[in-house]
Amino acid sequence: MTTIIIDEEWDELSPENFETAALLRAVDAVDDLRNDLNDGEDGRPPQLRTDLLKLHQLAMAVFNEGSRGQVVDLFEFAVDLEDQVLGMMTSLEQVQETLSKLTALYPESLQFDDANPNDANGGC
User: What is the spatial distance between Cα 124 and Cα 107, in angstroms, rounded to a whole number?
Assistant: 22
> Of 96, 98, 63, whose CA–CA distance to 78 is shortest?
63
Domain around 42:
20-101
What mean pLDDT is reported for the chain?
Answer: 89
Domain presence at residue 59: yes
- pLDDT exceeds 90 at position 26: yes
Percent of the chain with pLDDT over 70: 88
Q: 66 — alpha (psi -120 to 50), left (phi > 0) or beta?
A: left
Domain presence at residue 4: no
| pLDDT tens profile 61-105 | 999 999 999 999 999 999 999 999 999 999 999 999 999 999 999
Domain presence at residue 117: no
Domain presence at residue 35: yes
Look at the chain and report how many structural domains it folds into: 1
